[in-house]
Amino acid sequence: EVQLVESGGGLVQPGGSLRLSCAASGFTLSNYEIYWLRQAPGKGLEWVSYIGISGSTKYYSDSVNGRFTISTDNTKNSLYLQMTSLRGEDTAVYYCARDPQLGMDVFDIWGQGTMVTVSS
């Protein structure tokens, strides 16, 4: 079964750091474009970061650029989001999602999400 499973969320103080993981199964992560998206409580969907096939290209939203880093580990078939200098407005459910085909730029497989709460 093609699946993404996130982990690593939790409660962190403002200014703190957290690393999210997204484990893929049923397909090889490095063969796909993969995204991180987030959803603040009661709010809509927001794109956070992108990594291209084989980690070739990376993009970040303006709101996280310089604070978040996306990466992959092909040996573990996993995606990561290293988050630093966390702020209250980073509180959200974080999802990883897959683009089904190079250049399609939509999200066909999503993880179940992991909650990040930034609060003192």
68 makes contact with other proteins (CB under 8 A) = no
Cβ contacts of residue 104 below 8 Å, gap of 6+?
Answer: none
102 makes contact with other proteins (CB under 8 A) = no
Q: Which of 12, 107, 114, 118 binds other proteins (CB under 8 A)?
A: 107
3 makes contact with other proteins (CB under 8 A) = no
29 in helix, strand or coil? helix
Size of the site for other proteins (CB under 8 A): 20
Residue 59 CB, nearest approach to other proteins (Å): 4
94 makes contact with other proteins (CB under 8 A) = no
Name the one range near other proteins by CB under 8 A: 15-23, 57-65, 66-74, 81-89: 57-65
95 makes contact with other proteins (CB under 8 A) = yes
Regarding beta strands 34-39 and 18-25, do their DSSP bridges make them parallel or antiparallel, or are they unpaired? unpaired
